[in-house]
Structure 1
Amino acid sequence: MSSEPRKGASRHFVLAAGGTGGHLIPAFALAAELNARGHHVALITDERGANIPGKPDFMPAHVLPAGRFGKNPLGWFAGVRAVLQGRAMALRLFESFQPSAVIGFGGYPALPALLAATSAGLPSIVHEQNAVLGRVNRLLAGRVDAIATSYDQVDRLAPKHAGKVHLVGNPVRAEVLRLREQDFPDFTDESLFRILVTGGSQGARVLSEVVPDGLAMLPPALRQRLQVTQQCRPEDLDAVRGRYASHDIPAELGTYFEDMHERLAGAHLFIGRAGASTIAELTAVGRPAILVPLPIATDDHQAANTREMARAGGARMIRQDAFQPKELAKQIQAMAMNPASLANAAHCAFNCGRPDAAKDLADLVESMSGIDLMDVIRVGESAGVAAALRPATGTPRKAAKERVE
């Protein structure tokens, strides 16, 4: 589908997302695609999302109340009140902005916006980034018109909703997607072995404790060629620096790297968590990985996220309770002692990528707004059931499509 704007086809769309990068990165990618097609886009989010780096300048942000519903029922009344207040504010926004469709990306701030859309009779879509349908998307699944997924197997998706499933993938940042055109960095018995380690604020501690000692256990043929880049929490920096120095392993450490996409481009192996955006970027670029799912992730969704990439041969998953230096060294050796094995894993990761995710999701959004398209994702009843219910295999699949004249 072309990104060229179509004359007379301009529409208004509202995107609603929680304030984390996992929800907002795909929302921003869709916003950029819709803007390139000549549409107007607004964002509903929370305070974090309104101020997060990377928000497109063309997209105004509206902060609405959004209650949270934890394990304590005593807080539910306040949560319901906030959702109802946010829903009323969203309805007033829709009266002035007049959106053709509302698209939710999960997170509690998306709930009042989607409830307002369904009560106003506006076309609505939810996009699920993970391989487990999130809480808010589960609440909305029966109300919305379409469910866009990132994986062909999505847990917690009720069979009765399978007919509205559209497999599109998880949109990634444009600067990352451009790296798909580059070859995997040369890796031979003589070349440097560049490893990128990241884990986010919740996941960096265990990586800081295990990775340096695990790398030190590698055979000399690998260890002597190491060049490590690792993201750490500020309080861990000195200890990690000391660990690498004691092992005589060159490592660049930081709490944040603005050029992370460039570091990913040069990496031969990634070690880190298995968030949805991380998996989408690794498969978009084609980088093999050792993934350590965050054990406290809701519904264990990070472990589910690893399934497709691991079964295809592009990644290895280690549960955190088994993530010890000896096990890490063992898995790295299995992937990298033979240069051809690492390159093959990179190819398998690449084949899991869905580089047209933003375009395919934009096609779906436009189809909900009454624009005639030449290429719209149309997952029918049988295909939708298959996408939702069949077990994942190692063979990557593209979204099912039909031509719509």
Structure 2
Amino acid sequence: MTAVSRHYVLAAGGTGGHLIPAFALAAELVRRGHHVALVTDSRGAAIPGKPDFLPAHVIPAGRLGGKNPLGWLRGLRAILEGRRMALRLFESFQPSAVIGFGGYPAFPAVIAATAAQIPTIIHEQNAVLGRVNRLLASRVNAIATAYRVVERLEDKHLGKVHLVGNPVREDVLALREQPYPPFTEDGLLRVLVTGGSQGARVLSEVVPDGLAMLQPALRSRLQVIQQCRAEDLDAVRQRYASHGIPAELATYFEDMAERLADAHLFIGRSGASTIAELTAVGRPAILIPLPIATDDHQAANTREMVEAGGARAIRQEKFTAVELAKQIQAMAQHPPSLGNAAHAAWNCGYPNATTDLADLVESFGAAPMMDVIRMGGAAAETSGREALA
């Protein structure tokens, strides 16, 4: 445990992509003896999985964009009010640093911290620097990233970039040292399909028919677990039944870590948390980036995993049953191929992301900022990878 207990404020938007790494960091900082508070919006304060030990402070978060001047005015007012509320919190909580995880609520909290001369860090979960983090990049003391190459990150900011990876849930990280489940010529092929918190309709429409097109020797061994939207459940269930493919369907799986542990192949979106978990555990994947994701960041997120051989990416406009069947057949026709892809995915993981980010955070208000995980430094090539040697 750390000898000196300090206070830290984490600021994040109300979605899982922003909050999952924030929760992981909060747990690690508390384990080290620090006190942590969360600044978020109403969604974030009520999101399932928020740790009981983490107090949430809801502040206004306005958006600056669009062509309507009234919209700009409302957004600016909300940001200024959020900034005032954050400053009041800082006066009482006295944080050693404020860490932003993106999303609109992070913006007023971080600019309040810079005004109060409190050290600031932002963490970018995606392979494209998000809109809020772009606005904050020039103001903050450090930028933590999850990918070696991050688009929309200006060269002038590279000196304060630290590659740490994207923290994942402890129950998922615990699976990293478990072997890939045996996949043999006559054994089951367990396929896990998810489309985010609400499922994705395109997956419900394409995946059952794509699996039905597999060669009989492979199709007869399928065991499917799929997350669907509530309104799609009956139709998807009927599709699988008509194809004679056993499938377990639900709108939400509470034991997702166990499902991931048993899976031979993942099919789904390529959000930051999804990629982080797949690479933490080492699971091959067929990824369908969300086409409306801001700055097409989900497509960028697939790059490292695809280049390493751990995944295949299919653009949604080309995501058909025929194409899906072709890609699955190529990956699973020979059992060693899936195992090799799993190892390639595993090699893309950053198992020390949470501790590396916590080390970076602790460097504020303590010793001078460490250089161990600074991009471009002598240790950059091994940061987060030592466990893979």
Specify if TM > 0.5: yes
Closer/same/farther in 2, CA of residues 372 and 379 from structure 1, 3 Å limit:
closer
Q: 1:140 aligns with which of 118, 130, 136?
A: 136
* Pairing 1:210-225 to 2, within 5 Å after superposition: 210-225=206-221
- Structure 2 residue 340 is matched with structure 1 residue 344: yes
- Structure 2 residue 203 is matched with structure 1 residue 231: no
- What is residue 30 of structure 1 aligned with on the other side? 25
- CA shift digits 1:357-392 (9 cap, x unpaired): 00000000001221479x763416x449x98xxxxx
Q: How many equivalent pairs are there?
A: 384
Q: Could you tell me which runs of 5 or more consecutive residues in structure 1 were left unpaired when the two chains were aligned.
A: 388-396
- Structure 2 residue 378 is matched with structure 1 residue 399: no
Closer/same/farther in 2, CA of residues 251 and 378 from structure 1, 3 Å limit:
closer
* Pairing 1:309-348 to 2, within 5 Å after superposition: 309-348=305-344
**Percent of aligned pairs with the same amino acid:** 74
Q: Which runs of 4+ in 1 moved over 6 A?
A: none
Q: Distance in 1 between matches of 2:325 and 2:83?
A: 51
- What is residue 38 of structure 2 aligned with on the other side? 43
- Structure 2 residue 260 is matched with structure 1 residue 255: no
- Structure 2 residue 201 is matched with structure 1 residue 205: yes
- TM-score, normalised to structure 2, is 0.96
Which residue identity is paired with 1:41?
V
* Pairing 1:101-140 to 2, within 5 Å after superposition: 101-140=97-136
- Structure 2 residue 68 is matched with structure 1 residue 73: yes
Partner SS state of residue 215, structure 1: helix
Q: Distance in 2 between matches of 1:103 and 1:29?
A: 13
Which residue identity is paired with 1:207?
L
CA shift for structure 1 position 70: 3.7
Q: Distance in 1 between matches of 2:296 and 2:194?
A: 19
Partner SS state of residue 176, structure 2: helix
Q: Could you tell me which runs of 5 or more consecutive residues in structure 2 were left unpaired when the two chains were aligned.
A: none
Q: Distance in 2 between matches of 1:283 and 1:201?
A: 19
CA shift for structure 1 position 69: 2.6
- What is residue 179 of structure 1 aligned with on the other side? 175
- CA shift digits 1:243-285 (9 cap, x unpaired): 1001000000000000011000000000000000000000000
Q: Distance in 1 between matches of 2:182 and 2:195?
A: 25
CA shift for structure 1 position 400: 8.1
Q: Is the 8 A contact 1:132 1:304 kept in 2?
A: yes
CA shift for structure 1 position 399: 2.4
Q: Is the 8 A contact 2:270 2:290 kept in 1?
A: yes
- What is residue 149 of structure 1 aligned with on the other side? 145
Q: Distance in 2 between matches of 1:318 and 1:202?
A: 20
- What is residue 9 of structure 2 aligned with on the other side? 14
Partner SS state of residue 368, structure 1: coil
